[in-house]
Amino acid sequence: MKLGNLASKRIAQSFDRAAQGYDGAASVQSEVASYLVQKAARVMRAPKNILDIGCGTGFVAKAAAQQWPGAALTAVDAAPSMLKEAKWKIPHLHIVEGDISERRFGPEFDLILSSMALHWLPDPRRSLEQWRGWLKPGGRLFAATLIKGSFWEWRELCANEGLTDGLWIFPPADFAAGFEIEGQSICVPYASAREFLHRLKAIGAGTPRADHRPFDAACMRRLLRRAAKPFAVTYRVLYTVMPFSI
């Protein structure tokens, strides 16, 4: 998460505040992290050095530590409270706090993992290219990110009321064109649209776009009244592998 601008600072602060309750609310993030590590494990037998980018509370790092107990694990995140939670789960984890866009590593990792963090960065494609340079020869990078089409139910509900939602703009599906990709749709039924919004806030993912003007109370009440119950929401996830697996 880039800390060099106000929007990115707000994102990092939001995740930092959500750290203690994150694990209990982040069911989709946990599922994606588990699948990402399983996907990597089908290709990587015994990586010695692993980097987890945007580690959060350590879903990926914990799964990686279990999968490859002999590996050295490094985790990077901009939210110090998230890093604290991750370190508590994996005591031998080497944590690095700060802006991944400004961090520079050499080609020192056999495996780089990043789950549900890439879409918060200003240029996901450029970030992937940069991260690829941190791989040792024969190394692999596995990333999972939300893409355009995620949360379309809430966006459509707002549009039908003549309103523009403030949710984050996710990269298009073709942002990783030329790399090995796999798509996944996860549909989550929430009890109501209000619960969906509360869940986003609970995991720190409710930071609106900088250009968004918050809805007034009357608009929000109208939206919540007209939303279906239960309120199903689609998470569109793209898994990217670099270089190609075999």
Q: What confidence tens digit (pLDDT) does each residue in 46-90 have? A: 999 999 999 999 999 999 999 999 999 999 999 999 999 999 999
* Amino acid 3: pLDDT: 38
Percent of the chain exceeding pLDDT 70 equals 96
Tens digits of residue pLDDT in 173-200: 999 998 999 999 999 999 999 999 999 9
End-to-end alpha-carbon separation of the chain, Å? 31
Tens digits of residue pLDDT in 129-168: 999 999 999 999 999 999 999 999 999 999 999 999 999 9
With residue 172 as reference, give the H or E element that holds it: none
> Count of CB atoms within 10 A of residue 219's CB?
14
> pTM to 2 decimals?
0.94
Residue 28: pLDDT band with limits 50, 70, 90: very high
Residue 99: pLDDT band with limits 50, 70, 90: confident
Q: What is the residue-averaged pLDDT of the chain?
A: 93
Domains (ranges, CATH) in the chain?
6-146+169-186+236-242 (3.40.50.150)
What does the alpha-carbon distance between residue 95 and residue 19 come to, in Å, rounded to a whole number? 15
The reply to whether omega before 124 is within 30° of 0 (cis) is: no
Q: Of 127, 204, 115, whose CA–CA distance to 168 is shortest?
A: 204
